[in-house]
Amino acid sequence: KCDISHFPVCVMLAPSCSLSASVSVSQNKRVSPSLSLSSSLSRRCQHIVVSSASSSSSASASLAASTSAPTTMRALSSILELYEEGYRGFLLDQFGVLHDGVTPYPGAVDAVRSLAEAGASLVLVSNSSQRAQNVWKRLEPMGFLPSYFVGVITSGELANEAFATRGEGVGPLAGHKDVSRVIHFTWAERGKISLDGLKLECTTEAAEAEIVLASGVDAMGTRDGPPTPRSLDELKEIARKCAERDLPIVIANPDYVTVAGAQDGKPLAEMPGAFMKVYESCGKKDRILCMGKPGTFMFERGVATLQAHNDALTLENIVMVGDSLHHDITGAKSANVHSVWVLNGIHADDISQKGAEATVAAEGVALPEFTLSEFR
């Protein structure tokens, strides 16, 4: 059972498998990996519907491998150092790593292009409430071309899948086949999150709702027409009423905060993870369905996508690159994936005041294997 103390994630029991691994390790460098897995896997429960049985089985087996927790963080000067040392699969966060929500970070486009041209496999894993195909509307104008990546996974895509398959299998909404009336916290400024094809009817009244979907923090979805702008405090009060009614809430973006023009000195912006805190304060943690990182499934899907592109990849040569200790680093650790912590993202102010190791200690999370001052 995955125990992520900071986040109420839909439980995914670890698959049963036998494995043997032989890895030579020297100063966190992964050398001469060899991994063999039995073909007998038994999944007793899964976080959400998996796209294909073959890819999920391979990823599930890989995620069962063990890695020792680091006692120090090794500072990198460039992400290409890891490629030179044998890492070939890269799971990349976007906000706080590739860009600040407005502008790409210096050197980030070149780093992505260099990895792709060198032959690395790159998958974007983002706690964005947008559907996967929509991320290119932001990324491509910045210079991050779709051809650099072999796949994109967003928490918004996973939330959409959960609603599309509700009532089926053992997914997070397996027991909610007949729900249709939803309170939808969405975006006005960033653009409406579409519910087309999901057979859902938006309501603005907690008393009428059967379920809550948290995609944004500045508007409410309506039955007809564009979303209605609302303040975050107003939405939190509605969320509190929904929690009191014991309604389940699907968090399509689990981030608490994100960068939003940080390179221009703008403050961090609150994200839909704020509604998890509302539910927790009401004693309704068990009614939260968290769709993205740090949930193990997003990493499992990411590993499966990488392996579908390159079947030589294992956990020994895959690494997660992110800026959030709770989402990217803790999630990677729970999935037994090595991680690179990018220091100029959401924790930049804390790091500048007390240093990286003290920031990790204050957050109460395990150390990542590597750090980068910025993604380059």
Which amino acid is residue 67, in one-letter code? T
In the prediction, which pLDDT does 172 show? 85
In the prediction, which pLDDT does 224 show? 79
Which neighbouring-strand residues pair with 75?
371
Angle (nearest 5°) at CA 259 between 77 and 233: 155
In the prediction, which pLDDT does 223 show? 83
Q: In whole angstroms, what is the distance from residue 184 CA to residue 249 CA?
A: 10
Which neighbouring-strand residues pair with 270?
257
Q: In whole angstroms, what is the distance from residue 139 CA to residue 134 CA?
A: 9
- The answer to whether the peptide bond before residue 294 is cis (omega within 30 degrees of 0) is yes
Residues 283-288: contacts with CB under 8 Å, at least 24 apart: 284/243, 284/246, 285/8, 286/8, 287/243, 287/246, 287/247, 287/248, 287/249, 288/8, 288/248, 288/249, 288/251
In the prediction, which pLDDT does 161 show? 94
Q: What is the DSSP letter of 225?
A: S
pTM greater than 0.75 (yes/no): yes
CA atoms in the 13 A half-sphere facing the CB of 348: 20
Q: Nearest-CA neighbor of 127 among 213, 254, 7, 212?
A: 254
The number of beta carbons lying within 10 Å of the beta carbon of residue 194 is: 14
In the prediction, which pLDDT does 362 show? 96
Mean pLDDT, each 10-residue run in order, the chain (376 residues): 37 31 34 29 26 42 53 95 98 97 96 98 97 94 98 97 90 89 94 91 96 97 90 98 97 95 88 97 96 93 97 97 98 96 97 96 96 98
In the prediction, which pLDDT does 73 show? 96
- Phi, psi torsion values for 122, nearest 5 degrees: -120, 130
Q: Nearest-CA neighbor of 253 among 100, 92, 130, 98?
A: 130
The SS3 of residue 197 is coil
- Widest CA span of the chain, in angstroms? 60
In the prediction, which pLDDT does 82 show? 98
